Amino acid sequence: MRRVRYTSPGGPLFVEDVPVPRPGPGELLVRCAAVGVTLPVVRKVTEAAEPIALGGEVAGEVVSVGDGAGRFRAGDRVTGLCFGHGYADYAVLHEAMASPVPEYASYVDAVALVRSGLVALGALRAARPEPGEAVLVTAAASGVGHLAVQLARALGAGRVVGAVSDAGKADFVRSLGADETVVYGDDGWGAPVDCVLDAVGGDLLSPALAALAPGGRLVAYSSGGGTLQAYDLLVDGKSAIGFQLGLVARREPERYESWRRELWELFEKGAVRPVVHGEFALEDAAAAHALIEARGNRGKVVLRP
């Protein structure tokens, strides 16, 4: 089978031929039909001290199951998070990380919706917006952000603001249901909001916090780091909340599962529609990474083995 790999930090991605892996205890072997490309993986390729396995969201058909795996069988349609090599014709998923793909959805829909949508929905739940409150989403054109904009609207936000890296993304974000768009470098981001969902971090944390009304909540779910000053929280009674989906999956599996069901229900009703910016062959994985690294994508970027 084909698999994408690299051998040095930041080094070029290349395709190699390797044997098809075998599922171990509690694992599924999946023939990959779609693989989601994420900013955290792109960042690790350039920033990690040692090369990593290119994992992430995969969707496809179960080919075989390992000992002790009983929830799925060969022929089932699944999606899930692969911690090993996911940029490949076949990937191994731990059964606990897999979930079914409904017949009314494609594999591309699944990788564009499930993991990114769970992050977006979880961050929104962590912000605890009341009906009619204003929500601002940073990286609003990204794989997670474009779903967060739609979810905020579908779940009752009174005003939705999308923050983007350049004005060229404004029309796309408005087409998702945002009432307003702002660009990161703008002086001030308009009228204050009650909640900010931040996927960027770094230097953007300060303006994101400044965009909050008194008593507002900032939810940070970025791998980009950054710091906040305690005084900036205290002066107007604002809150900063960290959200990590993996923590919920491990500690509160029932909640995780209820969010997954809710996402598919919203998708089936047409309230949330994942947008795919581009589909790339495995041989073009470097181009997919470059698109995300340049923040050029509008929606999800997907590999199609």
Portion of the chain with pLDDT greater than 90, in percent: 89
Helix axes of 285-293 and 39-47: crossing angle, nearest 10 degrees: 100
246 pLDDT higher than 90: no
C-beta separation of 196 from 189 below 8 A: no
State pTM to two decimals.
Answer: 0.91
Question: Model confidence at 24, in pLDDT bands (50, 70, 90)?
Answer: very high
Question: Model confidence at 125, in pLDDT bands (50, 70, 90)?
Answer: very high
Least confident of 75-79, 176-180, 223-227, 265-269: 223-227
CA 22 to chain centre: 28
Residues 226 and 145: their CA atoms lie apart, in Å, by: 19
222 CB burial (10 A radius; 0-12, 13-18, 19+): buried
285 CB burial (10 A radius; 0-12, 13-18, 19+): buried
Asked: is 2-101+275-303 a CATH 3.90.180.10 domain? The reply is yes
End-to-end CA distance of the chain: 10
C-beta separation of 92 from 68 below 8 A: no
Topology of domain 115-245 in CATH is Quinone Oxidoreductase; Chain A, domain 1 (3.90.180)
What confidence score (pLDDT) does residue 1 get?
98
* Residues ≥6 apart with Cβ < 8 Å to 179: 159, 160, 161
Domains 2-101+275-303 and 115-245 are alike in CATH topology:
yes
What confidence score (pLDDT) does residue 39 get?
87
Question: Model confidence at 225, in pLDDT bands (50, 70, 90)?
Answer: confident
CA 106 to chain centre: 18
What confidence score (pLDDT) does residue 222 get?
83
Least confident of 24-38, 104-118, 124-138, 245-259: 245-259
Q: Domain map of the chain by residue range?
A: 2-101+275-303, 115-245
pLDDT tens digits, one per residue of 275-305: 999 999 999 999 999 999 988 899 999 999 9
Q: Scanning the structure block, which residue is given the tokens 């191994």? A: 92
Question: Model confidence at 206, in pLDDT bands (50, 70, 90)?
Answer: very high
Average pLDDT value for the chain: 95
52 CB burial (10 A radius; 0-12, 13-18, 19+): middle
pLDDT tens digits, one per residue of 147-164: 999 999 999 999 999 999
224 pLDDT higher than 80: no
Question: Model confidence at 214, in pLDDT bands (50, 70, 90)?
Answer: very high
pLDDT tens digits, one per residue of 56-72: 999 999 999 999 998 99
183 pLDDT higher than 80: yes
